[in-house]
Structure 1
């Protein structure tokens, strides 16, 4: 509303100035054009008088009787003499408008002939043709001597200099008026700002406070009522800020605790599901094959025991977390390559279920500082996603190696490309993209957990599409084998 006051103030000045400017410009223009018209009319009147005197003298010199016939006989001579005497182009016509002679016939042909028509009707007339800063006048009048109409004289005269001077004067006045208008408007803008600026600042500050932003201060170098109002306003804000700061801190802490609790239980739910999937897979294979394949039976039972132990450890951790407010992470030196190889081997059976296979190219001695269980969970989630969302009968490539003091992991599977804006959202909780194939019970937490694990280990992760292959790159710092 206060901005509206300033706007109205400026609008009022603007309307006054623009109206004055337009009135001034129009008045000056009309005055100049009216004056030009008077000059033209006066010049043409003199031209008519002088040419009439010449025609009368021509009749007397040639001792012709005043008639249309002798006027026609003198046409060429009149054109030549009048052209030199008046400095204008001249044409001579009969009383019916038939051209007898012309100093520049092309100048008169193809032009407007309203003036000629009026001269045929017995009236003097002219019209002006404007082209940019040029002005040409066609002037026609019937030649009447002693009451006898003997013919018509028509003149073509340019007034370019007159109208160019007038145009220059108009432009000069226009720019001077525009400059005055600009200076006056600038002055009014500064004046309106001086009047309304303190009120605008107070309004903005109160709006910020209404939004909850108390980090505002107002300072005016003035001793009037507005200055004292600003001081009282600042004192009020300082008191409110002190009282609310504690409430805001408590609110933020509570919000953060709630978010941590939600993220924790989301991750725990997903981690409980993954080992169960492996246990169920091996259990079904053992049930189908029985103990006919003793080696596979022992291997499957070992994996079932290992995954069951993982479930047991997760439950123990969950019970521990229920009695604590934060996790206690301990890092150790881990051969991430061996962990990944073991995960690839255990996930191969899951890939077979989807009619797919896993190709591993993993270097040895990929040591890093981390948590074995969390790294295992990272690899399981990434390979599990590659299995679920790769094309049918496809091969999933898993590579790991050392480059530039870092361990690089690459998980690649053929898949339909996602839209460009989706790659930045894949790490968000519950976001599953646009894949049509989604495992039953999946809630879109896999990549969110992956991102959390990577961040915990100080690594980086990216997802991209290359030649219709989804590529996940993970990078961790390398810890040499002999380092402590």
Structure 2
């Protein structure tokens, strides 16, 4: 049998109402009982002090020694006088719990006097047993319209128990007030829960009605009828659901556009693949330039200096190895998509890295009569990836040569300041337009100006530089003035040390 959501909500609300009311009533009753017990305990503490005072006064006035024998011999007189003092029934017992006297002449049976119809059983003797262990206790006994508290306490003489008394106290007024209060609270809770239940039933109807309309509309769409109108006048979540449903219906009609979008995505993927190979081409160009430069020198001139020949071969070998590493890293990067950590970190001499990069780019700079001026603080050691930091300097120098003026200077500085290591590269050239400075770190972005010394490239260099600096937790900034030149500032966080200089 199919049950609608409306009736499910009503049944659920009714169940919650019953459980909530039962739990609330239980805890209210428990709270009243705990409160009454707490009041009785505080009252009995005061009563206990008064009781002990009357006991001491009795033995002093009657000039009787406080021992168990005297207590047993004067039990009836003691019980009567104590009862008149505290205005309550008193039952006296020996130190072992044997009955001695009862001011109600009921032989110690608690309910025989108050419950004439014998509707309640007697309360037992657990309190007497506790009194024989020198522990005071009380028991609440409901009898018809009355509430009695049976307080049992040992009577202590000089260093030992001489007897036990039971005092039957009437606390009906306290319990009657609590009972009236509890009934009033229960009635109020019932009214509140009933009102909430009625509200929930009306709310369930309001919620379920639009959902039923949406269900019918869904069936029609499933049958191929897309021109469905949904009349839901609501500004809440259900109304939002109806609006979303209408939008969804419209989107179903636009599947052809989604197919076209997927086609464009495939084209983008192809573009990314091409960009990856462009990146490889760009990164291989610099080491190939250095290798080509040394090879051209060796071919054009007949060198008899074995040291220069050996130096050239080492340079060519090193750049070949760098190129090999670069290809492997680019392939790895294409698999991982992105990386935010530095790989293969080590303690490196940053001064040597920067100086070596400047010397390697000197060949290309000489081609355009550009002089690389080095102001490098010696022996700056940091933690990082030497190959990546070298690529940063080479890429920036390559840009400065490419976009600098012929017969100009490029100044490279390396120094420490505070907790940071700073690299600046300043060139003299056409500069970068102010409105294009914020785009230069974007991949594949290039400034098209025909009067630069070199115009080839794919706009990947600065993007790669920024990624490397970011992985070293550094910062890179570029300022430029048209017709004046460009300055690049790089700051790498500390981890900077001074190496020891041997003599």
- Report the TM-score, using the length of structure 2 for normalisation: 0.44
- Report the TM-score, using the length of structure 1 for normalisation: 0.46
